Amino acid sequence: MRPSSELDSVPGWHTTADAEVPPRGLRALCSPTTLAGGLTELAWVGAHALMYPLGARMEALRPDPHTRTGAQPAAVRALFAADPLAARVPVLLVHGLVDNRSVFAVMRRSLRKRGFTSVCSWNYSPFLTGIARGAADLGRHIERLCQQTGHDRVHVVGHSLGGLIARHYVQRQGGDRRIDALVTLGTPHRGSVLAHLLPTPLIRQLRPGSPALRELDEPAPYCRTRVTAVYSDLDQVVLPTQSGRCDHPDLAARNVLVRGVGHMSLPIHRGVLDEVASTLAGVRQTAGTRRLAAVA
């Protein structure tokens, strides 16, 4: 394995969670990567707050009219060189707790620019009381999406709680027959200690070791969905940050660690956008753990 300092500057592979423990102390907090990530997080949170009202309405699926491969830039054609039809698979973006589709404003535009022809977001109820209920609602929405597009399977990108909702649908409600690839961003797969601060029914399900999370630890044999979990060492919501990993043995998930990216900044981070696009295009298919350096 290469030294940690090299992995911080160049994307690389590693296979153990022990190597991922972020550096601690004042020096780590004052590192250029951490400072840049913190400033980006503050700026994006402010911008997102202004955009939040615009995301309250449900989004209708509007396929991109530029669907001919020949009309696409060379970079787009290269991304889908192995499977040109992958560009047509619908992509559904699912937001996190107390949020809406506005958090995906950058990602939606980025995926369309990279050649994905059908990208839309789904707003679940702000009064959601449980992960299982959200998963059932997601399943009904995906069924409508499949009927509308004529596709049997879709891709899903879930931020924070949205990733857990999609994972429950995949593992516990037969959603693997509909979801081809699931990418989670800053999702508390093993819960977050911050969930102890609020006693609401939904938040209690996000506590480490909760019955809802133990249910997701149960066997899920023959699961057909490809799962990728992107998590950050600077996540201030998913604590400890390693809870963002998905280590279920039956899912064989890819775990991608990004350095110096805040929780809300994950859907706008350039390296994360690259990873999501490559995963959905079928370029990234090897199970394992990957570490990405922060990209300015």
C-alpha span between 170 and 156 (Å, rounded):
11
Predicted pLDDT at 18: 44
Here the tokens at position 144 are 């409508």
pTM over cut 0.75: yes
C-alpha span between 293 and 283 (Å, rounded):
19
Domains of the chain: 32-49+94-292 (3.40.50.1820)
pLDDT digits (tens, 9 = 90+) for 155-192: 999 999 999 999 999 999 999 999 999 999 999 999 99
What torsion, rounded to 10 degrees, do the Cα atoms 74, 80, 263, 161 define? 150
C-alpha span between 50 and 52 (Å, rounded):
6
In percent, the amount of the chain with pLDDT more than 90 equals 66
Statement: residue 76 has pLDDT above 60: yes
DSSP labels, 72-83: S-HHHHHHTSS-
Q: Where are the beta strands (DSSP E) in 119-237?
A: 119-122, 154-159, 179-185, 226-232
